[in-house]
Amino acid sequence: MRVLVIGSGGREHALVWKLAQSPSVSKIFAAPGNGGTLAEGAENVAVAADDLDGLVALAQREQVDLVVPGPELPLTLGITDRMRAAGIACFGPDAYGARLEGSKAFAKDVMERAKVPTANHAVFSDAAAARQYLREAGCGMVVKADGLAAGKGVVVARTVDAAVAAVDDMLEAHAFGAASERVLLEELLEGEEVSLLCFCDGTRAVPLPSAQDHKAALDGDQGPNTGGMGAYSPAPILPDSQLEALADQTVRPVLRVLAEDGHPFVGVLYAGLMMTANGPRVLEYNTRFGDPECQPLLMRLEGDLAAIMLDCVHGRLDAAKIGYTQQTALGVVLVAEGYPGSYPKGMPINGIAEAEALPSVKVFHSGTARRDGQLVSDGGRVLCVTALGEGLAQAQRAAYAAVDKITMPQSRCRSDIGSKGIRRLARQDG
Ligand code: AMP
Ligand code: GLY
Protein backbone atom coordinates (compact mmCIF):
# COMPACT_ATOMS: atom_id res chain seq x y z
CA MET A 1 0.00 0.00 0.00
CA ARG A 2 1.19 3.52 -0.86
CA VAL A 3 0.17 6.12 1.70
CA LEU A 4 0.11 9.93 1.67
CA VAL A 5 0.16 11.73 5.03
CA ILE A 6 -0.87 15.41 4.86
CA GLY A 7 0.64 17.90 7.31
CA SER A 8 3.94 18.88 8.89
CA GLY A 9 3.65 18.56 12.67
CA GLY A 10 4.41 16.10 15.44
CA ARG A 11 1.11 14.35 14.86
CA GLU A 12 2.07 13.72 11.24
CA HIS A 13 5.50 12.41 12.25
CA ALA A 14 3.77 9.99 14.63
CA LEU A 15 1.35 8.91 11.90
CA VAL A 16 4.22 8.27 9.48
CA TRP A 17 6.18 6.41 12.19
CA LYS A 18 3.26 4.11 13.00
CA LEU A 19 2.15 3.62 9.38
CA ALA A 20 5.72 2.63 8.46
CA GLN A 21 5.32 -0.31 10.87
CA SER A 22 2.27 -1.62 8.98
CA PRO A 23 3.26 -4.76 7.03
CA SER A 24 0.98 -3.69 4.17
CA VAL A 25 2.65 -0.29 3.68
CA SER A 26 5.40 -0.16 1.05
CA LYS A 27 5.85 3.60 0.58
CA ILE A 28 4.89 6.77 2.43
CA PHE A 29 4.73 10.32 1.12
CA ALA A 30 4.42 13.32 3.45
CA ALA A 31 3.08 16.63 2.15
CA PRO A 32 4.85 18.75 3.12
CA GLY A 33 6.26 16.69 6.04
CA ASN A 34 9.14 17.71 8.29
CA GLY A 35 12.57 16.54 9.45
CA GLY A 36 10.98 13.69 11.38
CA THR A 37 8.88 12.26 8.55
CA LEU A 38 12.03 12.34 6.43
CA ALA A 39 14.01 10.47 9.11
CA GLU A 40 11.25 7.82 9.13
CA GLY A 41 11.89 7.11 5.44
CA ALA A 42 8.93 9.01 4.03
CA GLU A 43 9.39 11.03 0.86
CA ASN A 44 8.62 14.66 1.68
CA VAL A 45 6.89 16.45 -1.18
CA ALA A 46 6.60 20.24 -1.14
CA VAL A 47 2.83 20.48 -1.45
CA ALA A 48 1.05 22.54 1.20
CA ALA A 49 -1.68 20.97 3.38
CA ASP A 50 -4.28 23.38 1.95
CA ASP A 51 -3.34 22.92 -1.73
CA LEU A 52 -6.14 20.53 -2.62
CA ASP A 53 -5.37 20.46 -6.35
CA GLY A 54 -1.72 19.77 -5.64
CA LEU A 55 -2.57 17.00 -3.17
CA VAL A 56 -4.96 15.25 -5.55
CA ALA A 57 -2.41 15.51 -8.38
CA LEU A 58 0.30 14.07 -6.10
CA ALA A 59 -1.91 11.18 -4.99
CA GLN A 60 -2.81 10.37 -8.59
CA ARG A 61 0.71 10.69 -9.93
CA GLU A 62 2.15 8.46 -7.20
CA GLN A 63 -0.75 5.98 -7.29
CA VAL A 64 -1.49 6.44 -3.61
CA ASP A 65 -3.89 3.90 -2.07
CA LEU A 66 -4.65 5.71 1.20
CA VAL A 67 -4.59 9.39 2.13
CA VAL A 68 -4.32 10.40 5.79
CA PRO A 69 -4.97 14.10 6.45
CA GLY A 70 -3.45 15.19 9.78
CA PRO A 71 -4.73 18.75 10.36
CA GLU A 72 -8.27 20.13 10.18
CA LEU A 73 -7.76 22.63 7.38
CA PRO A 74 -7.66 20.23 4.41
CA LEU A 75 -10.65 18.39 5.91
CA THR A 76 -12.79 21.51 6.20
CA LEU A 77 -11.72 22.49 2.67
CA GLY A 78 -13.02 19.15 1.39
CA ILE A 79 -9.94 17.00 0.77
CA THR A 80 -11.92 13.82 1.47
CA ASP A 81 -14.59 14.74 -1.08
CA ARG A 82 -11.88 15.49 -3.65
CA MET A 83 -9.96 12.27 -3.06
CA ARG A 84 -13.18 10.26 -3.11
CA ALA A 85 -14.13 11.82 -6.45
CA ALA A 86 -10.72 10.69 -7.72
CA GLY A 87 -11.36 7.15 -6.44
CA ILE A 88 -8.74 7.36 -3.67
CA ALA A 89 -9.43 6.18 -0.10
CA CYS A 90 -9.13 9.02 2.40
CA PHE A 91 -9.17 8.54 6.19
CA GLY A 92 -11.17 11.58 7.24
CA PRO A 93 -14.66 13.07 7.19
CA ASP A 94 -16.07 14.91 4.18
CA ALA A 95 -16.40 18.70 4.34
CA TYR A 96 -19.87 18.35 5.88
CA GLY A 97 -18.59 16.22 8.75
CA ALA A 98 -15.52 18.40 9.22
CA ARG A 99 -17.87 21.32 10.02
CA LEU A 100 -18.17 19.72 13.46
CA GLU A 101 -14.77 21.29 14.01
CA GLY A 102 -14.96 24.10 11.43
CA SER A 103 -18.10 25.70 12.86
CA LYS A 104 -18.86 25.72 16.56
CA ALA A 105 -22.46 26.75 15.82
CA PHE A 106 -22.88 23.71 13.52
CA ALA A 107 -21.38 21.47 16.23
CA LYS A 108 -23.89 22.83 18.75
CA ASP A 109 -26.80 22.15 16.35
CA VAL A 110 -25.63 18.57 15.87
CA MET A 111 -25.17 18.11 19.64
CA GLU A 112 -28.69 19.37 20.22
CA ARG A 113 -30.12 16.96 17.65
CA ALA A 114 -28.01 14.12 19.05
CA LYS A 115 -28.87 15.02 22.67
CA VAL A 116 -25.20 15.20 23.63
CA PRO A 117 -24.55 16.92 26.98
CA THR A 118 -22.83 20.26 26.41
CA ALA A 119 -22.69 23.79 27.85
CA ASN A 120 -25.73 26.05 27.30
CA HIS A 121 -25.05 28.65 24.66
CA ALA A 122 -26.40 31.37 22.37
CA VAL A 123 -25.11 32.51 18.96
CA PHE A 124 -24.70 36.19 18.01
CA SER A 125 -23.56 38.16 14.99
CA ASP A 126 -24.71 41.52 16.42
CA ALA A 127 -22.42 42.97 19.08
CA ALA A 128 -25.11 45.09 20.78
CA ALA A 129 -27.37 42.06 21.19
CA ALA A 130 -24.47 40.00 22.56
CA ARG A 131 -23.55 42.73 25.07
CA GLN A 132 -27.15 42.98 26.25
CA TYR A 133 -27.32 39.19 26.67
CA LEU A 134 -24.15 39.27 28.79
CA ARG A 135 -25.34 42.18 30.96
CA GLU A 136 -28.68 40.48 31.58
CA ALA A 137 -26.97 37.20 32.48
CA GLY A 138 -24.68 39.13 34.82
CA CYS A 139 -21.92 36.53 34.96
CA GLY A 140 -18.74 35.50 33.18
CA MET A 141 -19.01 33.34 30.07
CA VAL A 142 -16.89 31.70 27.45
CA VAL A 143 -16.73 33.66 24.20
CA LYS A 144 -15.97 31.57 21.11
CA ALA A 145 -15.41 32.55 17.51
CA ASP A 146 -17.62 30.33 15.34
CA GLY A 147 -14.94 29.39 12.80
CA LEU A 148 -11.38 28.08 12.80
CA ALA A 149 -9.01 30.46 14.58
CA ALA A 150 -5.92 28.28 15.06
CA GLY A 151 -6.90 27.46 18.64
CA LYS A 152 -7.01 31.13 19.64
CA GLY A 153 -10.71 31.85 19.15
CA VAL A 154 -11.84 30.97 22.69
CA VAL A 155 -11.80 33.42 25.59
CA VAL A 156 -12.73 32.14 29.04
CA ALA A 157 -14.11 35.39 30.47
CA ARG A 158 -14.67 35.21 34.22
CA THR A 159 -16.39 38.61 34.41
CA VAL A 160 -19.07 40.36 32.34
CA ASP A 161 -16.57 43.09 31.42
CA ALA A 162 -14.03 40.59 30.14
CA ALA A 163 -16.74 38.86 28.11
CA VAL A 164 -17.92 42.17 26.64
CA ALA A 165 -14.33 43.01 25.69
CA ALA A 166 -13.97 39.64 23.92
CA VAL A 167 -17.25 40.17 22.07
CA ASP A 168 -16.12 43.62 20.92
CA ASP A 169 -12.79 42.20 19.83
CA MET A 170 -14.39 39.46 17.74
CA LEU A 171 -17.58 41.07 16.38
CA GLU A 172 -16.44 44.70 16.05
CA ALA A 173 -12.66 44.60 15.68
CA HIS A 174 -12.94 41.40 13.57
CA ALA A 175 -10.06 39.80 15.46
CA PHE A 176 -10.36 36.55 13.51
CA GLY A 177 -11.78 37.87 10.25
CA ALA A 178 -14.56 35.72 8.81
CA ALA A 179 -14.07 33.14 11.57
CA SER A 180 -15.46 35.60 14.14
CA GLU A 181 -18.41 37.02 12.18
CA ARG A 182 -20.50 34.94 14.55
CA VAL A 183 -19.67 34.21 18.17
CA LEU A 184 -21.00 31.73 20.70
CA LEU A 185 -21.56 32.81 24.28
CA GLU A 186 -21.32 29.74 26.42
CA GLU A 187 -21.94 28.80 30.02
CA LEU A 188 -18.61 28.66 31.90
CA LEU A 189 -18.06 25.12 33.15
CA GLU A 190 -15.73 23.99 35.93
CA GLY A 191 -13.91 20.69 35.99
CA GLU A 192 -10.99 18.71 34.61
CA GLU A 193 -10.62 18.32 30.85
CA VAL A 194 -9.99 15.05 29.08
CA SER A 195 -10.01 13.84 25.48
CA LEU A 196 -11.99 10.95 24.06
CA LEU A 197 -10.97 9.98 20.52
CA CYS A 198 -12.72 7.30 18.48
CA PHE A 199 -11.95 5.52 15.23
CA CYS A 200 -15.13 5.87 13.14
CA ASP A 201 -16.28 4.00 10.04
CA GLY A 202 -19.50 5.89 9.34
CA THR A 203 -21.68 3.88 11.71
CA ARG A 204 -19.35 2.34 14.29
CA ALA A 205 -17.07 4.08 16.77
CA VAL A 206 -14.22 2.35 18.60
CA PRO A 207 -12.77 4.46 21.43
CA LEU A 208 -9.03 4.91 21.82
CA PRO A 209 -7.76 5.06 25.41
CA SER A 210 -8.22 8.44 27.11
CA ALA A 211 -5.67 11.22 26.75
CA GLN A 212 -5.06 14.55 28.44
CA ASP A 213 -3.62 17.57 26.70
CA HIS A 214 -1.95 20.58 28.37
CA LYS A 215 -3.06 23.66 26.45
CA ALA A 216 -1.65 26.43 28.65
CA ALA A 217 1.89 27.60 27.90
CA LEU A 218 3.18 27.62 31.49
CA ASP A 219 3.34 25.27 34.48
CA GLY A 220 0.20 25.02 36.59
CA ASP A 221 -2.01 25.66 33.53
CA GLN A 222 -1.01 29.33 33.55
CA GLY A 223 -0.33 31.63 30.62
CA PRO A 224 -1.79 31.81 27.13
CA ASN A 225 -3.36 28.89 25.29
CA THR A 226 -1.17 26.99 22.85
CA GLY A 227 -1.69 24.13 20.41
CA GLY A 228 -0.69 21.80 23.25
CA MET A 229 2.43 21.58 25.43
CA GLY A 230 2.28 17.88 26.26
CA ALA A 231 -0.09 14.94 26.62
CA TYR A 232 -0.35 11.53 28.15
CA SER A 233 -2.49 8.42 27.97
CA PRO A 234 -4.38 7.02 29.80
CA ALA A 235 -5.72 9.89 31.92
CA PRO A 236 -6.71 8.70 35.42
CA ILE A 237 -9.89 10.80 35.26
CA LEU A 238 -11.17 8.63 32.41
CA PRO A 239 -10.29 4.96 32.96
CA ASP A 240 -10.75 2.34 30.23
CA SER A 241 -13.81 0.97 32.02
CA GLN A 242 -15.73 4.20 31.24
CA LEU A 243 -14.77 4.64 27.59
CA GLU A 244 -17.68 2.73 26.04
CA ALA A 245 -20.34 4.49 28.12
CA LEU A 246 -18.83 7.87 27.30
CA ALA A 247 -18.65 7.06 23.57
CA ASP A 248 -22.36 6.13 23.79
CA GLN A 249 -23.07 9.54 25.27
CA THR A 250 -20.83 11.81 23.23
CA VAL A 251 -19.71 10.19 19.96
CA ARG A 252 -22.10 7.51 18.70
CA PRO A 253 -25.20 9.78 18.74
CA VAL A 254 -23.26 12.24 16.55
CA LEU A 255 -22.44 9.46 14.07
CA ARG A 256 -26.16 8.65 13.88
CA VAL A 257 -27.10 12.26 13.14
CA LEU A 258 -24.43 12.68 10.46
CA ALA A 259 -25.40 9.39 8.82
CA GLU A 260 -29.05 10.58 8.79
CA ASP A 261 -27.84 13.72 7.02
CA GLY A 262 -26.26 11.55 4.33
CA HIS A 263 -22.69 12.20 5.50
CA PRO A 264 -21.48 9.18 7.46
CA PHE A 265 -18.42 10.20 9.50
CA VAL A 266 -15.16 8.42 8.67
CA GLY A 267 -11.92 9.12 10.49
CA VAL A 268 -11.16 10.13 14.06
CA LEU A 269 -13.84 11.97 15.99
CA TYR A 270 -12.34 13.66 19.02
CA ALA A 271 -14.59 14.87 21.83
CA GLY A 272 -12.99 17.48 24.09
CA LEU A 273 -14.73 16.89 27.42
CA MET A 274 -15.08 18.74 30.69
CA MET A 275 -15.75 16.36 33.58
CA THR A 276 -18.06 18.53 35.70
CA ALA A 277 -19.75 17.79 39.02
CA ASN A 278 -22.92 17.21 36.96
CA GLY A 279 -21.28 14.75 34.59
CA PRO A 280 -19.32 15.00 31.34
CA ARG A 281 -19.97 17.90 28.94
CA VAL A 282 -18.62 18.19 25.39
CA LEU A 283 -16.62 21.42 24.94
CA GLU A 284 -15.76 20.87 21.30
CA TYR A 285 -15.27 18.30 18.59
CA ASN A 286 -12.14 17.87 16.53
CA THR A 287 -12.46 15.79 13.39
CA ARG A 288 -8.91 14.39 13.47
CA PHE A 289 -6.22 13.24 15.87
CA GLY A 290 -5.11 15.88 18.37
CA ASP A 291 -1.55 17.16 18.38
CA PRO A 292 0.18 16.23 20.73
CA GLU A 293 -2.38 13.61 21.96
CA CYS A 294 -1.68 11.55 18.83
CA GLN A 295 1.95 10.96 19.81
CA PRO A 296 1.36 9.12 23.15
CA LEU A 297 -1.75 7.40 21.76
CA LEU A 298 0.13 5.94 18.79
CA MET A 299 3.02 4.94 21.09
CA ARG A 300 0.46 2.72 22.87
CA LEU A 301 -1.38 1.40 19.78
CA GLU A 302 -0.81 -2.24 18.97
CA GLY A 303 -2.17 -3.13 15.58
CA ASP A 304 -1.80 -2.32 11.91
CA LEU A 305 -2.73 1.37 11.67
CA ALA A 306 -3.00 1.37 7.86
CA ALA A 307 -5.37 -1.60 8.00
CA ILE A 308 -7.46 0.05 10.74
CA MET A 309 -7.75 3.23 8.66
CA LEU A 310 -8.73 1.33 5.51
CA ASP A 311 -11.32 -0.59 7.53
CA CYS A 312 -12.78 2.76 8.61
CA VAL A 313 -12.96 3.99 5.01
CA HIS A 314 -14.66 0.76 3.91
CA GLY A 315 -17.15 0.63 6.79
CA ARG A 316 -15.80 -2.53 8.38
CA LEU A 317 -14.12 -1.33 11.57
CA ASP A 318 -13.38 -4.22 13.93
CA ALA A 319 -12.46 -3.47 17.56
CA ALA A 320 -10.82 -6.91 17.83
CA LYS A 321 -8.01 -5.75 15.52
CA ILE A 322 -7.09 -2.79 17.73
CA GLY A 323 -5.08 -3.13 20.94
CA TYR A 324 -2.99 -1.00 23.27
CA THR A 325 -0.10 -1.61 25.59
CA GLN A 326 -1.11 -1.26 29.25
CA GLN A 327 1.87 1.04 29.74
CA THR A 328 1.37 4.79 30.08
CA ALA A 329 2.74 7.08 27.38
CA LEU A 330 3.69 10.70 28.05
CA GLY A 331 4.92 13.36 25.65
CA VAL A 332 6.59 16.68 26.52
CA VAL A 333 6.62 19.37 23.85
CA LEU A 334 9.78 21.40 23.45
CA VAL A 335 8.95 24.87 22.10
CA ALA A 336 10.91 27.86 20.86
CA GLU A 337 11.18 30.67 23.41
CA GLY A 338 8.29 33.12 22.83
CA TYR A 339 5.76 30.58 21.52
CA PRO A 340 2.73 30.98 21.23
CA GLY A 341 3.75 34.57 20.43
CA SER A 342 6.54 35.32 17.98
CA TYR A 343 9.64 33.14 18.24
CA PRO A 344 12.98 32.59 16.48
CA LYS A 345 13.60 29.75 14.02
CA GLY A 346 16.66 27.93 12.76
CA MET A 347 18.16 26.93 16.14
CA PRO A 348 20.35 23.81 15.95
CA ILE A 349 18.94 20.74 17.72
CA ASN A 350 21.25 18.07 19.15
CA GLY A 351 20.93 15.01 21.36
CA ILE A 352 17.96 13.26 19.77
CA ALA A 353 19.95 10.04 19.24
CA GLU A 354 21.03 10.11 22.90
CA ALA A 355 17.42 10.62 24.00
CA GLU A 356 16.19 7.77 21.82
CA ALA A 357 18.93 5.50 23.18
CA LEU A 358 16.98 5.48 26.45
CA PRO A 359 14.47 2.65 26.70
CA SER A 360 10.97 3.20 25.21
CA VAL A 361 11.65 6.78 24.10
CA LYS A 362 10.61 8.27 20.79
CA VAL A 363 11.25 11.87 19.78
CA PHE A 364 8.63 13.16 17.38
CA HIS A 365 9.44 16.25 15.33
CA SER A 366 6.80 18.99 15.42
CA GLY A 367 8.64 21.78 13.64
CA THR A 368 12.06 20.85 12.33
CA ALA A 369 13.96 21.02 9.08
CA ARG A 370 17.33 19.77 7.92
CA ARG A 371 19.72 22.50 6.72
CA ASP A 372 23.18 21.54 5.45
CA GLY A 373 23.04 18.28 7.35
CA GLN A 374 22.08 19.93 10.66
CA LEU A 375 18.63 19.51 12.23
CA VAL A 376 17.22 22.94 13.07
CA SER A 377 13.99 24.28 14.57
CA ASP A 378 11.38 25.39 12.07
CA GLY A 379 8.30 26.15 14.16
CA GLY A 380 6.98 27.18 17.56
CA ARG A 381 6.45 23.64 18.72
CA VAL A 382 9.68 21.87 17.81
CA LEU A 383 9.75 18.36 19.32
CA CYS A 384 7.46 16.07 21.28
CA VAL A 385 9.64 13.88 23.47
CA THR A 386 7.55 10.79 24.25
CA ALA A 387 8.19 7.83 26.55
CA LEU A 388 6.41 4.72 27.77
CA GLY A 389 6.49 3.72 31.42
CA GLU A 390 4.83 1.48 33.97
CA GLY A 391 2.32 3.99 35.24
CA LEU A 392 2.17 7.75 34.91
CA ALA A 393 4.95 8.70 37.33
CA GLN A 394 7.45 6.45 35.59
CA ALA A 395 6.42 7.64 32.12
CA GLN A 396 6.86 11.23 33.32
CA ARG A 397 10.35 10.51 34.69
CA ALA A 398 11.34 8.72 31.49
CA ALA A 399 10.10 11.52 29.22
CA TYR A 400 11.90 14.25 31.21
CA ALA A 401 15.09 12.19 31.36
CA ALA A 402 14.96 12.12 27.56
CA VAL A 403 14.25 15.88 27.40
CA ASP A 404 17.45 16.41 29.42
CA LYS A 405 19.50 14.77 26.67
CA ILE A 406 18.36 17.29 24.05
CA THR A 407 19.96 20.67 23.53
CA MET A 408 18.53 23.55 21.57
CA PRO A 409 19.25 27.25 22.21
CA GLN A 410 16.24 29.42 23.11
CA SER A 411 13.93 26.52 23.87
CA ARG A 412 11.71 25.63 26.82
CA CYS A 413 9.08 23.15 27.94
CA ARG A 414 6.55 22.78 30.75
CA SER A 415 7.99 20.88 33.69
CA ASP A 416 4.67 19.48 34.94
CA ILE A 417 3.21 17.41 32.09
CA GLY A 418 1.30 14.59 33.78
CA SER A 419 1.44 16.06 37.30
CA LYS A 420 -2.31 16.69 37.45
CA GLY A 421 -2.92 13.00 36.74
CA ILE A 422 -0.33 11.95 39.33
CA ARG A 423 -2.09 14.10 41.94
CA ARG A 424 -5.43 12.51 41.05
CA LEU A 425 -3.92 9.02 41.38
CA ALA A 426 -2.58 9.97 44.82
CA ARG A 427 -6.03 11.18 45.90
CA GLN A 428 -7.64 7.98 44.59
CA ASP A 429 -5.10 5.82 46.43
CA GLY A 430 -5.33 7.84 49.60
P1 AMP B 1 -12.47 24.73 22.70
O2 AMP B 1 -11.62 25.11 21.52
O3 AMP B 1 -13.93 24.96 22.50
O4 AMP B 1 -12.15 23.38 23.25
O5 AMP B 1 -11.99 25.70 23.87
C6 AMP B 1 -10.62 25.83 24.22
C7 AMP B 1 -10.45 25.76 25.71
O8 AMP B 1 -11.28 26.74 26.35
C9 AMP B 1 -10.91 24.44 26.29
O10 AMP B 1 -9.91 23.48 26.23
C11 AMP B 1 -11.25 24.85 27.72
O12 AMP B 1 -10.06 24.92 28.50
C13 AMP B 1 -11.81 26.22 27.56
N14 AMP B 1 -13.29 26.16 27.46
C15 AMP B 1 -14.02 25.99 26.33
N16 AMP B 1 -15.34 25.97 26.60
C17 AMP B 1 -15.46 26.12 27.93
C18 AMP B 1 -16.58 26.21 28.83
N19 AMP B 1 -17.84 26.14 28.39
N20 AMP B 1 -16.31 26.38 30.14
C21 AMP B 1 -15.05 26.49 30.59
N22 AMP B 1 -13.95 26.43 29.80
C23 AMP B 1 -14.14 26.25 28.48
N1 GLY C 1 -4.16 19.38 21.17
C2 GLY C 1 -5.42 19.90 20.80
C3 GLY C 1 -5.73 19.81 19.37
O4 GLY C 1 -5.06 19.13 18.62
O5 GLY C 1 -6.70 20.41 18.96
Ligand 2 pocket by Cβ (under 6 Å): 213, 227-228, 286, 290-291, 293
Strands of the sheet with 154-157, listed across from one edge: 121-124, 183-186, 141-145, 154-157
Confidence band for 429, pLDDT divided at 50, 70 and 90: confident
What pLDDT score was predicted for residue 225? Answer: 85
Q: For 192-429, which CATH class?
A: alpha beta
Ligand 2 centroid, distance to 292 Cα (angstroms): 7
Q: Give percent above pLDDT 90 in the chain.
A: 88
Residues whose CB is less than 8 angstroms from the CB of residue 11 and which lie 6 or more positions away in sequence, other chains included = 70, 71, 289, 290, 291, 292, 294, 295
Q: Are 317 and 294 in contact (CB under 8 A)?
A: no
Q: Are 277 and 62 in contact (CB under 8 A)?
A: no
Q: Do strands 361-365 and 328-336 pair parallel, antiparallel, or not at all (unpaired)?
A: unpaired
Confidence band for 286, pLDDT divided at 50, 70 and 90: very high
Residues whose CB is less than 8 angstroms from the CB of residue 10 and which lie 6 or more positions away in sequence, other chains included = 36, 291, 292, 294, 295, 331, 333, 364, 365, 366, 381, 383, 384
Closest CA to 144 of 105, 110, 106, 118: 105
3-state secondary structure 86-125: CCCEECCCCHHHHHHHHCHHHHHHHHHHHCCCECCEEEEC
Q: Are 362 and 356 in contact (CB under 8 A)?
A: yes
Ligand 1 centroid, distance to 283 Cα (angstroms): 6
- Report the pLDDT averaged over residues 355-376: 95
The architecture (CATH level 2) of 2-90 comes to 3-Layer(aba) Sandwich (3.40)
Q: What is the CA radius of gyration of the chain?
A: 21
Q: Are 247 and 317 in contact (CB under 8 A)?
A: no
What pLDDT score was predicted for residue 176? Answer: 85
pLDDT digits (tens, 9 = 90+) for 312-339: 999 999 999 999 999 999 999 999 999 9
What pLDDT score was predicted for residue 224? Answer: 86
The architecture (CATH level 2) of 121-186 comes to 2-Layer Sandwich (3.30)
Residue 118 phi, psi dihedral angles, 5° rounding: -150, 170
Q: Are 198 and 247 in contact (CB under 8 A)?
A: yes
Ligand 1 centroid, distance to 76 Cα (angstroms): 21
Task: Name residue 301's beta-bridge partners.
Answer: 324
Ligand 1 centroid, distance to 404 Cα (angstroms): 32
What Cα–Cα distance (Å) separates residue 307 from each residue in 89, 310, 322? 12, 5, 10
| Mean pLDDT for the chain overall | 95
pLDDT digits (tens, 9 = 90+) for 203-235: 999 999 999 999 999 999 999 889 999 999 999
- Quote the pTM value: 0.95
Confidence band for 180, pLDDT divided at 50, 70 and 90: confident
pLDDT digits (tens, 9 = 90+) for 414-426: 999 999 999 999 9
Residues whose CB is less than 8 angstroms from the CB of residue 169 and which lie 6 or more positions away in sequence, other chains included = 155, 175
- Report the pLDDT averaged over residues 57-77: 98
- Asked if the model's pLDDT at residue 282 lies above 80, the reply is yes
Query: How far is 188 from 154, CA to CA, in rounded Å?
Result: 12
- Asked if the model's pLDDT at residue 428 lies above 90, the reply is no
What pLDDT score was predicted for residue 154? Answer: 87
Ligand 1 centroid, distance to 62 Cα (angstroms): 41
What Cα–Cα distance (Å) separates residue 48 from each residue in 31, 89, 344? 6, 19, 22
Cis (ω within 30 of 0) for the bond into 292? Answer: yes
pLDDT digits (tens, 9 = 90+) for 96-143: 999 999 999 999 999 999 999 999 999 999 899 999 999 998 889 999
Residues whose CB is less than 8 angstroms from the CB of residue 115 and which lie 6 or more positions away in sequence, other chains included = 253
The Cα angle at residue 35 between residues 29 and 39, in degrees rounded to 5: 70
What pLDDT score was predicted for residue 149? Answer: 82
Q: Give percent above pLDDT 70 in the chain.
A: 100
Confidence band for 340, pLDDT divided at 50, 70 and 90: very high
- Asked if the model's pLDDT at residue 430 lies above 90, the reply is no
Query: How far is 415 from 334, CA to CA, in rounded Å?
Result: 10
Residues whose CB is less than 8 angstroms from the CB of residue 427 and which lie 6 or more positions away in sequence, other chains included = none
Query: How far is 368 from 117, CA to CA, in rounded Å?
Result: 40
Q: Are 183 and 123 in contact (CB under 8 A)?
A: yes
Q: State whether the beta carbon of 188 lies less than 6 angstroms from ligand 1.
A: yes
| Ligand closest to CA 270 | 2
Query: How far is 50 from 62, CA to CA, in rounded Å?
Result: 19
Q: Domain spans of the chain?
A: 2-90, 121-186, 192-429
- Write out the DSSP string of 111-165: HHHHT--B--EEEES-HHHHHHHHHHHTS-EEEEESS--TT--EEEESSHHHHHH
- Asked if the model's pLDDT at residue 146 lies above 90, the reply is no
Q: State whether the beta carbon of 189 lies less than 6 angstroms from ligand 1.
A: yes
Atom of ligand 2 nearest to the CA of 291: 4
100, 152, 213, 297: which to mutate for ligand 2, most atoms within 8 A of CB?
213
Q: Whose CA is nearest to atom 2 of ligand 2?
A: 290
142, 275, 282: which to mutate for ligand 1, most atoms within 8 A of CB?
142
Q: Where is average pLDDT lowest: 121-125, 147-151, 158-162?
A: 147-151
Ligand 1 centroid, distance to 275 Cα (angstroms): 12
Phi-psi map region of 372: left, alpha, beta (phi>0 left; psi -120 to 50 alpha): left
Kindly report the number of other CB atoms within 10 A of residue 226's CB atom. 21
Query: How far is 116 from 330, CA to CA, in rounded Å?
Result: 30
